């Protein structure tokens, strides 16, 4: 029997999505796709001025130390390609590659995602990627910018699905220049849930989402769990994982537990795991990542395996 083009794409997309969760279906992902934000983190640690080659070597070291403990890794082509070329990511670990260009961390009250000019889902497929990722700064209370971001998510999902790749969408609710920290914190939960509800019909196969209660509010556990359940409901069947946002491991494991109880399928964490390994000596960076970094990743994975919900076997919609 001949499988139609759309059906074949769906089958491939479903298989690749499920690979993100490994054998148990729970995503324990390490995100090392940072570019501008990596340079910013290095500057904060007094390590400004590293060359592109230095950053590529750093990502190779981080990936070699951490990927074996993960079910999935997020790596970019520009700075992470060297790690892929050297084969430090085991074949059993799924690969997610970003499509957004940098600049989304720049200040401004209207932040619109642009795509990398020289990297597409087809290129990701050539690298052996199992999914692509799109980060979208998002304010559901600004219909104009939200509409532009919606259009980009929809067209990017179509481009990914055309070649059989699932799309991971990461909405980022940023603070406006006219908002105080308290005002932003008070509105945060509704803004996150509203973003997901609006984006859900547009083709995302997996959401990468922040914990819906900001640290500034430090809600009691019942309220935090209720917020996570509201976030899960907004996903309306689209699986989701928790992003790390750079929080410490003790806080993050507690967030993983609550998100998992609400229906999340695991996590994709970045600088909260490998941030302490940002040092000038590459050998020391790898030693730190392989030691405390890997131990923290394994702690997160144990909690996710216990509390999170496996990726939906029905695959993307």
> Which whole-number Å values give the CA distances from 296 to 81, 88, 200, 261, in the listed order?
25, 20, 31, 20
Whether 58 and 82 have beta carbons less than 8 Å apart is answered as: no
Give the pLDDT of residue 108.
64
Task: Report how far residue 130's alpha carbon sits from residue 150's, in angstroms, rounded to the nearest whole number.
Answer: 23
Q: How long, in residues, is the chain? A: 317
> What's this model's pTM, rounded to 2 decimal places?
0.92
CA dihedral over 246, 250, 252, 253, signed as positive or negative: positive
Confidence band of 12 (pLDDT split at 50, 70, 90): confident
**Who's near 310: CB < 8 A, 6+ residues apart?**
21, 24, 25, 26, 265
Identify the band that residue 6 occupies on the pLDDT scale cut at 50, 70 and 90: low
Listed residue (90, 91, 51) closest to 68, CA to CA: 90
Which pLDDT score is estimated for 218? 63
Q: How many Cα atoms within 13 Å fall on the side-chain side of residue 55? A: 25
H helix runs in the chain, sequence order: 5-19, 36-44, 52-66, 77-85, 121-126, 143-162, 181-199, 221-235, 249-262, 271-274, 282-288, 294-307
CA max distance for the chain: 61
Higher pLDDT, 217 or 299: 299
What was the pLDDT predicted at 105?
52
Domain chopping of the chain, boundaries: 5-307
Going 309 to 25 to 232 to 246, the CA torsion angle's sign is: positive
| pLDDT (average), residues 299-312 | 96
Domain 5-307 matching CATH 3.40.109.10: the answer reads no
Beta bridge partners of 27: 266
- 3-state SS, 128-178, equals CCCEEEEEEECCCCCHHHHHHHHHHHHHHHHHHHHCCCCEEEEEECCCCCC
Tens digits of residue pLDDT in 79-95: 999 999 999 999 999 99
pLDDT band at 314 (very low <50, low <70, confident <90, very high): very low
**33-60 per-position pLDDT tens digit:** 988 888 888 888 888 888 899 999 999 9
Residue 39: count of CB within 10 angstroms of its CB: 17
Residue 143 has a pLDDT of 93
């Amino acid at each position: 029997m001949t499988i139609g083009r759309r059906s074949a794409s769906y089958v491939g997309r479903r298989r690749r999505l499920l690979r993100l969760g490994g054998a148990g279906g729970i995503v324990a992902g390490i995100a090392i796709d940072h570019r501008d934000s990596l340079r910013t983190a290095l500057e904060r640690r007094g390590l400004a001025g590293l060359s592109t080659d230095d950053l590529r070597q750093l990502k190779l070291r981080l990936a070699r130390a951490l990927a074996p403990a993960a079910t999935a890794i997020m790596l970019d082509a520009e700075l992470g390609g060297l790690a892929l070329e050297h084969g430090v990511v085991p074949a059993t670990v799924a690969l997610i590659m970003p499509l957004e260009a940098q600049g989304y961390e720049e200040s401004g009250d209207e932040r619109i995602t642009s795509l990398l000019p020289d990297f597409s889902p087809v290129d990701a497929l050539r690298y052996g990627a199992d999914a692509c990722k799109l980060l979208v700064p998002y304010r559901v209370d600004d219909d104009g910018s939200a509409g532009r971001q919606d259009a980009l998510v929809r067209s990017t999902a179509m481009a990914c699905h055309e070649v059989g790749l699932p799309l991971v969408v990461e909405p980022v609710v940023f603070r406006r220049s006219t908002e105080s920290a308290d005002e932003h914190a008070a509105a945060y939960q509704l803004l996150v849930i509203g973003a997901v509800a609006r984006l859900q019909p547009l083709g995302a196969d997996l959401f990468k989402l922040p914990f819906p209660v900001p640290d500034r509010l430090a809600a009691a556990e019942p309220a935090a769990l209720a917020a996570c359940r509201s976030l899960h409901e907004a996903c309306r069947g689209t699986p989701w994982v928790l992003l790390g946002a750079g929080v410490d491991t003790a806080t993050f494991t507690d967030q993983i537990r609550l998100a998992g109880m609400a229906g999340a399928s695991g996590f994709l964490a970045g600088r909260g795991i490998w941030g302490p390994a940002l040092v000038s000596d590459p050998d020391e960076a790898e030693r730190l990542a392989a030691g405390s970094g890997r131990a923290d990743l394994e702690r997160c994975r144990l909690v996710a395996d216990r509390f999170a919900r496996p990726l939906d076997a029905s695959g993307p919609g």
